Amino acid sequence: MVDKATSGDKNALEILIISVQDIVFNLSLRMLGTFADAEDATQDILLKMITHLSSFRGKVHLLHGYSVLQPIT
């Protein structure tokens, strides 16, 4: 799916975003405490995910029950 998204498949990118947006929002809400801050953080995180998708190494780690994408840093 990541390969398709990085090669310009808009549907694949949409599926990736939809698959993580609730997890990102809920984790942000727990960490930040307010709905508005969680929305802002979620938007920032998803934007970074999209812009750095090509550096994804293909590894997935579990963090407190959540799958977390680990990009090359």
Tens of pLDDT, residues 57-72: 665 554 444 555 544 4
How large a percentage of the chain has pLDDT more than 70? 77
C-alpha 51/C-alpha 34 separation (Å) is 26
What would you report as the CA-atom Rg of the chain, rounded to the nearest whole angstrom? 13
pLDDT of residue 59: 58
The three-state secondary structure class of 63 is: strand
Other beta carbons within 10 angstroms of residue 69's beta carbon come to: 16
pLDDT at 31 exceeding the cut of 90: yes
Mean pLDDT of the chain: 82
Q: Which residues contact 27 (CB under 8 A, 6 or more apart)?
A: 66
Task: Say what the pTM is.
Answer: 0.72
pLDDT of residue 7: 87
pLDDT of residue 3: 82
The three-state secondary structure class of 66 is: strand
